[in-house]
Structure 1
Amino acid sequence: MSGHILLVDDEPGLREAVQAYLEDSGFAVQVANNARDAWQLLEQTTPDLVISDIMMPQVSGYEFLKQMREDVRFLNLPVVFLTAKGMTKDRIEGYNAGCDAYLSKPFDPDELVAIAENLIARRAMQAVTANSNTSEMTDLAGQLAEIKALLKQKPAINVTPPPIKIEFTPREQSVLELVVEGLMNKEIAKRLGTTIRNVEKYVSRLFSKTGTSSRTELVRYALQHGLIDSYS
């Protein structure tokens, strides 16, 4: 597992030992001996993970974490606290401050490596999911634009009966009408007082019943075959 880690600790011996172990485990490691230097490094390059001591002069680990969480660039950056303060109340304070993991000194370096690998892998997965959602939203926006163009052409669309009679449930009919209006699933759910998941289920059923595979195709089919009373 590779990844870029920022290690912040004012104890030279521990900092060097942890850096060496992490680098031997395949990580690229930048080090800082205080939070102020660490912040300057953060602004130059965003790491995949921050490992920070809590008890540091001038700016504590808690204050450093608070500064990160108040900056949109580092809002979701994973943070692990390494500290000699190992009481339960101290760990709770760390988690309440927004850290992702908390290791009390002395700690097993293999456990730190396992935590680092897990947090970096989770962050990578979240990035993939975010990119996928962005792609889906872009595709949906394109479909909605096509739907609006179809509605402008409505008077010129020849209405013919569907090849086979299609029976919709009242809720499916309601969802179909709102899809034709160009509403997104979130808006349809709000209009009908249901969940987005249920709307997705109804849209999927509409695709299946009409033999379509996109909202644009569904709207075109509904308009061409007079499946929407107000548009027939």
Structure 2
Amino acid sequence: MPGQLLLVDDEPGLREAVQAYLEDSEFNVNVASNATEGWEKLQSNPPDLVITDIMMPQVDGYQFLKQMREDPRFKSLPVVFLTARGMTKDRIQGYQAGCDAYLSKPFDPDELVAIVENLLERRSSAEKGSEGTDIEDIARQLAEIRELLKQRPTIAQSETHIKIDLTPREQSVLDLVAQGLMNKEIARRLETSVRNVEKYVSRLFSKTGTNSRTELVRYALEHGLTK
């Protein structure tokens, strides 16, 4: 199951070995050598799951996890502790701190992959359930978007030239939204997570001053932002 992972560990040898094994298992892995760097990468490129060591200088794994759980953006982000501290009391402390899995070093890489796959599957299922809770609104927006697409030749483009800088990925998401696809379908097309798609759609709303997918598509058609 493809997914974007963040691996935080201050041991270069172990970090490189774990990264290589996870990438061989078809995961995309971003790495950080400490929690401070991990926090920066967490915000600039939000992952689907975090794997972090506990015993790190300055900011340890518990503090890093606490920082994540106090931020609404990462409150439900799956976190795996990967650490040499394997006593029962250490594992209990880890779970009480809010980690989703605790794997003691040395460990079997296949077990780590199984844990990651399981957590990502659970996360995906939860996101599908969340998307389905507002099914009537989703159906309405889809119907409105399809109607807009039928009217495409008659929707006049604005004479006012509006320059909006979109990244290549934002443009790809906009084009797919304009095709009437929902987040889950877009994520599958772009081989990314639903969470990342939601992030890009939110950015598009912000850049265009719109509040719904229907408004976004109409705006894009009127201003020639999508083909």
Task: Assess same fold via TM > 0.5.
Answer: yes
CA distance in 2, matches of 1:106, 1:42: 26
Q: Are 1:31 and 2:45 matched, yes or no?
A: no
Give the RMSD, CA atoms, in angstroms. Answer: 1.5
Aligned partner of residue 73 in structure 2, secondary structure = helix
The CA deviation at 1:93 is 0.2
Q: Any residues of structure 2 matched to 1:1-232 within 5 Å, and which?
A: 1-136=1-136
Aligned partner of residue 14 in structure 1, secondary structure = helix
Q: Which runs of 5+ in 2 are unaligned?
A: 140-227
Amino acid at match of 2:47: P
The CA deviation at 1:45 is 1.4
CA distance in 2, matches of 1:131, 1:46: 20
Share of identical aligned residues, percent?
69
Amino acid at match of 1:119: L
RCO comparison, higher one (Cα < 8 Å, 6+): 2
CA distance in 2, matches of 1:10, 1:134: 43
CA deviation string 1:19-55 (max 9, x = no partner): 0000000000000000000000011111011000000
CA distance in 1, matches of 2:111, 2:88: 19
Aligned partner of residue 50 in structure 1, secondary structure = strand
Amino acid at match of 2:126: Q
Aligned partner of residue 6 in structure 1, secondary structure = strand
Aligned partner of residue 133 in structure 2, secondary structure = helix
Q: Which runs of 5+ in 1 are unaligned?
A: 140-232
Distance 1:138 1:2, change over 3 A: closer
CA deviation string 1:49-97 (max 9, x = no partner): 1000000000000000000000000010000000000000000000000
CA deviation string 1:108-158 (max 9, x = no partner): 00000000001011111111101111335778xxxxxxxxxxxxxxxxxxx
The equivalent residue for 2:216 is: none
CA deviation string 1:139-190 (max 9, x = no partner): 8xxxxxxxxxxxxxxxxxxxxxxxxxxxxxxxxxxxxxxxxxxxxxxxxxxx
Amino acid at match of 1:8: V
- Give the TM-score normalised by the residue count of structure 2: 0.60
Amino acid at match of 1:22: L
Would you identify which runs of 4 or more consecutive aligned residues in structure 1 move more than 2 Å?
134-139
- Give the TM-score normalised by the residue count of structure 1: 0.58
**Larger of the two Rg values belongs to structure:** 1
CA distance in 1, matches of 2:34, 2:40: 10
